[in-house]
Amino acid sequence: MKNNIDRRQFMRLAGMGGVVFASGLSGFNPARALGGTTGSDGSAQGSDFFFVQLSDTHWGFSGPAINPDAQGTLRKAIAEVNALSDQPDFVVFTGDLTQTTDDPSERRRRLAEFKEIVKDLRVKTVRYMPGEHDAALDRGAAYKEFFGQTHYTFDYEGVHFIVLDNVSDPAAALGDEQLTWLAQDLSQQDRLQRIVVFTHRPLFDLAPTWDWATRDGARAIDLLMPFPHVTVFYGHIHQEHHHLTGHIAHHAAKGLMFALPAPLSVPKKAPLPWDAAAPYKGLGFREIEQDGHSNPITELPISATRTALL
């Protein structure tokens, strides 16, 4: 509850013109204008850039009442990204690439098809991570055959990106081993390092009765807490959502197959039905800018008129 004031302030900012000023709360850094040099606060500064987050594409899902264009939505989203006049520096998919299946060979078929379809992105740097639909039934074995490690880091233009896997363990935990790895990675970072975390489930307890939580997520947040410039982007809940744990902002993305209701707004979580009057409503993707220490977000819809022809 102690976050109430911060959160209200934050939501007011979030309401402005569809653009969210995210970790802008951690302070505007005038040194960013220098680009590629050392900031006035001593942190390494890269040049500004932006990336695109897509999430929860659930390739293989079928349910005409929920998404009658289950075969086309992912392709449309890719066409939307390809049509952006400025192309992003990279694209990240934050999990649930495929719809879960109990059949391991069908799982591989879906992962292969997904991989084939996203080859159409004009942007060639694409980062992946699994969701529980991709990885929880075989601890990520099939996923790894197609996309490699389920947790890793990379650095780009002065920002340290950390991908956390809270889905390969069927118990929805990061696990001691990964938390030790995270602590080790963070121990090598400057306190003022700009850090962006990608993960699938929320790291905080958004709605544990809906499986919208990570069993040991609080331990990851504790490890990140000493760093003043951390922002988390995740998926899993199929809607835009913004939350602060202390100074760390957590931003959930919309999905690209079906939308889910607001946390605990209905007795039982279930996909929202397709609205024929507003096709693709509730689906979308986002651009995220890296602007000094802040990450302004622009939410983008899937337009019914965009053809998936590339």
The number of residues in the chain equals 310
* By the rule CB under 8 A, 104 interacts with other proteins: no
d(CA 141, CA 125): 23
Compose the 54-93 pattern: x for residues touching other proteins by CB under 8 A, - for all others. Answer: ----------------------------------------
The C-alpha atoms of residue 54 and residue 200 are separated, in whole angstroms, by 11
- Which lies closer to Fe ion via its Cβ, residue 56 or residue 165? 56
Burial class (CB in 10 A: 0-12, 13-18, 19+), 201: buried
Q: Is 96 in the site for Fe ion (CB under 5 A)?
A: yes
> Are 21 and 294 within 8 A, CB to CB?
yes
Pick from Cu ion, Fe ion, other proteins, none: which does 215 bind, CB < 5 to 8 A by kind? Answer: other proteins
Among 29, 56, 213, 293, binds Fe ion (CB under 5 A): 56
Q: Which of 236, 238, 243, 286 binds Cu ion (CB under 5 A)?
A: 236
Q: What angle do CA 96, 92, 232 make, to 5 degrees?
A: 85
Question: Among other proteins, Fe ion, Cu ion, none, what binds residue 172 when CB lies within 5 to 8 Å by partner kind?
Answer: other proteins
Task: Give the Cα separation of 170 and 172 in Å (integer).
Answer: 5
Which residue of 35, 42, 104, 208 would you call a contact of other proteins, by CB under 8 A?
208
Q: Cα separation of 49 and 288, whole Å?
A: 9
Mark the segment that binds other proteins (CB under 8 A) among 37-45, 207-215, 218-226, 297-305: 207-215
For other proteins, the binding residues (CB under 8 A) are: 100-102, 132, 136-137, 170-172, 208-209, 211, 213, 215, 268-269
